[in-house]
């Protein structure tokens, strides 16, 4: 099969543009999720440091981070709302059949969204208007609100991977729905913790990377030191934990979704002593091109024994397994995710050794170069994780119950392409204003810093937090 033949072979006709649009909006929205979930914790912790130590630099950082938190929350609310509507527009048959069960997670996410929106407003407008300790305590509502939102999303996603908590009626629709069973499916535990740790890691490394760039440019003041140390410590502490959780998650996929596991490992034939293939691409005949094979390692990781039997893609019906193209996407994404996680652990070890030895940050510029790239690397890793999860489940939208082709909206594909084109314009405008606002805030803060002695706290805003200033 030619490399692009699969583009013309999709049935029904609306399937390809629907998958592309869904993939784009998911990939776009996930950029905002780590800061939405984890940035509140970093902000409140920084405020706590400032209050406990009477440190104006920490308070300045917390106050500036709070406005970035609010801006990205507003943008995330827009992209998340669009994404929610897409489920009904692009996949109406799935929503019509399974919406009573699938919608549980989105209902919880809605409550979390309103809770977070209310308290972000209180937190942002509470600077200089509430007593410092009251403001700080109210800020602690935000971290669990973000986690609750992620909890709702993972309920929906884990249910799609391992649907439970209902019985199928004579018409094929769910009946006798067990809410707790639908929430706590077999995949929920490892998916939830894998995502939460990934979000906090990504936010920590992303925020730290900004101050690492400043450090490389010679800004060695307390502002940049503190702005780097707190978020990087969070990311570094979670990196080795994520390796353990990721191992547990991969083993869960091995047990619950063997076809996805075979795609992740591009395993074609069922066998024991299955090798771990690093890189490489699966061909239509089941052979691997350019991969580095480590003998028996995959069986050992999956079942703690080289004798563990791993099912291959060939053991599944072609209509019930990922295609060769999907398998290659899932495999390469999985390798990227694991590889970047391993690099994060190397940075963590470097950071820990320097701290134990010198009680100080590493002195090498190469470390800060790595830290500056860690933010982008973390985002690539989290995108790769979603590709692994979603593409590896193909051809199912609800595992073993409904195929993606059966869930898609049976409309003229031209309408989907038009809608997707309009979304590209809308998302480009959103990105432009989001980046522009952040750049202008950064410029304002830089001017503020040039006019201060270095340690005093910035003057309170007179009208609205970070609103236009009088001439």
Q: What share of the chain is helix, strand, coil (3-state, %, to 5)?
A: 70, 5, 25
A 10 A CB-CB count for 464 gives 9
The total number of residues written for the chain in this structure = 471
Residues 368 and 365: their CA atoms lie apart, in Å, by 5
* Backbone CA torsion sign across 344, 345, 351, 354: negative
Name the token pair of 465: 């937090």
Q: Which residues of 371-383 are buried (b: 16+ CB within 10 A; e: fewer)?
A: bbbbbebbbbbbb
Tokens, residue 166: 């209902």
d(CA 400, CA 160): 10
Residue 451: the pLDDT is 64
Of 437, 453, 432, nearest in space to 64 by CA: 437
Phi and psi for 426 in degrees, rounded to 5?
-60, -45
Total-model pTM: 0.89
Sequence-separated (6 or more) residues with CB below 8 Å from residue 21? 86, 90, 416, 419, 420, 423
CA 264 to the chain's CA centroid: 19
Cis peptide bond N-terminal to 12, omega within 30: yes
For the chain, the maximum distance between any two Cα atoms, rounded to a whole number of angstroms, is 75
Locus of tokens 């001017």: 447
Question: Sign of the C-alpha dihedral, residues 345, 348, 350, 353?
Answer: negative
Q: Specify the 3-state DSSP secondary structure of 403.
A: strand
Q: Is 352:236 a contact under the CB 8 Å cutoff? A: yes
Please name every residue paired with 277 in a beta bridge, in sequence order, or none if there are none: 293
Burial 387-422 (b: 16+ CB within 10 A, else e): bbbbbbbbbbbbbebbbbbbbbbebebeebbebbee
d(CA 225, CA 217): 13
CA 26 to chain centre: 10
As averages over each run of 10 residues, the pLDDT of the chain (471 residues) reads 42 86 89 88 92 90 89 85 85 87 86 89 87 91 91 91 88 86 90 93 92 87 89 93 91 91 90 88 87 87 88 89 91 92 91 87 89 91 91 90 89 90 92 88 79 48 50 45
pLDDT of the residue at 242: 92
SS (H, E, C) 282-312: ECCCCCEECCEEECCHHHHHHHCCCCCCECC
Q: What is the C-alpha separation between 328 and 335, in angstroms, rounded?
A: 10
């Amino acid at each position: 099969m030619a490399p692009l033949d699969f583009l013309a072979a999709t049935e029904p006709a609306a399937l390809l543009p629907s998958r592309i649009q869904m993939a784009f909006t998911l990939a776009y929205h996930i950029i905002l999720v780590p800061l939405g979930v984890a940035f509140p914790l970093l902000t409140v912790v920084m405020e706590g440091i400032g209050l406990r130590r009477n440190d104006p630099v920490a308070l300045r950082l917390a106050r500036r981070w709070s406005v970035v938190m609010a801006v990205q929350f507003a943008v995330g609310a827009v992209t998340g709302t669009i994404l929610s509507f897409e489920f009904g527009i692009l996949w109406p048959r799935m929503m019509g059949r399974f919406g009573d069960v699938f919608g549980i997670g989105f209902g919880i996410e809605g409550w979390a969204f309103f809770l977070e929106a209310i308290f972000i407003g209180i937190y942002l407008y509470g600077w200089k208007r509430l007593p410092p300790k009251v403001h700080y305590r109210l800020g602690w509502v935000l971290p669990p609100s973000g986690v609750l939102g992620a909890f709702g999303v993972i309920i929906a996603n884990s249910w799609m991977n391992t649907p439970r908590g209902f019985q199928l009626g004579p018409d094929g629709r769910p009946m006798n729905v067990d809410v707790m069973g639908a929430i706590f499916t077999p995949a929920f535990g490892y998916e939830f913790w894998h995502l939460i740790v990934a979000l906090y890691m990504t936010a920590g490394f992303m925020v730290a990377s900004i101050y690492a760039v400043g450090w490389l440019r010679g800004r060695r003041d307390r502002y940049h030191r503190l702005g780097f140390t707190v978020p990087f410590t969070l990311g570094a502490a979670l990196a080795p934990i994520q390796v353990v959780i990721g191992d547990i998650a991969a083993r869960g996929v091995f047990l619950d979704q063997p076809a996805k596991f075979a795609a992740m490992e591009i395993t074609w034939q069922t066998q024991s002593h299955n090798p771990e293939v690093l890189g490489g691409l699966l061909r239509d005949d089941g052979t691997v091109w350019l991969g580095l094979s480590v003998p028996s390692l995959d069986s050992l990781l999956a079942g703690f024994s080289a004798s563990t039997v791993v099912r291959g893609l060939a053991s599944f019906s072609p209509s019930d397994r990922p295609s060769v193209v999907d398998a290659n996407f899932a495999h390469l994404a999985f390798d990227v995710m694991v590889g970047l996680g391993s690099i994060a652990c190397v940075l963590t070890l470097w950071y820990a050794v320097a701290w134990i030895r010198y009680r100080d940050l590493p002195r090498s510029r190469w470390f800060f170069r790595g830290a500056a790239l860690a933010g982008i690397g973390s985002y690539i890793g989290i995108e790769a994780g979603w590709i692994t999860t979603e593409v590896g489940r193909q051809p199912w939208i609800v595992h073993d119950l409904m195929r993606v082709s059966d869930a898609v909206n049976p409309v003229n594909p031209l309408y989907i392409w038009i809608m997707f084109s309009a979304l590209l314009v809308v998302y480009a405008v959103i990105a432009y204003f989001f980046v522009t606002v952040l750049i202008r805030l950064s410029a304002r803060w830089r001017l503020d810093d040039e006019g201060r002695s270095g340690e005093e706290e910035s003057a309170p805003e007179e009208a609205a937090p970070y609103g236009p200033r009088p001439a």
